């Protein structure tokens, strides 16, 4: 199961971007996790200071 980033909670701070070992996170006004690339490790969710990332 891939992780997802909440559009309402993400502030696009970039903290998760550098933590993702598979490069599944893309930048934007709100960041996005590609479910086809996500390896379900949860590293991004642990790093997110806003708590905006959760299992899909």
Stated pTM of the model? 0.91
Burial of 32 (0-12, 13-18, 19+ CB in 10 A): middle
**Phi and psi angles of residue 55, each rounded to the nearest 5 degrees, phi first:** -60, 140
Give residue 36's pLDDT: 96
* Domains (range + CATH), the chain: 1-56 (3.30.70.20)
Tens-digit pLDDT string for the chain (56 aa): 899 999 999 999 999 999 999 999 999 999 999 999 999 999 999 999 999 999 98
């Amino acid at each position: 199961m891939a992780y997802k980033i909440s559009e309402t909670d993400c502030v696009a701070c970039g903290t998760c971007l550098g933590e993702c070992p598979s490069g599944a996170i893309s930048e934007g006004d709100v960041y996005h996790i590609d479910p086809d690339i996500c390896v379900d490790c949860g590293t991004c969710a642990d790093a997110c200071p806003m708590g905006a990332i959760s299992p899909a």
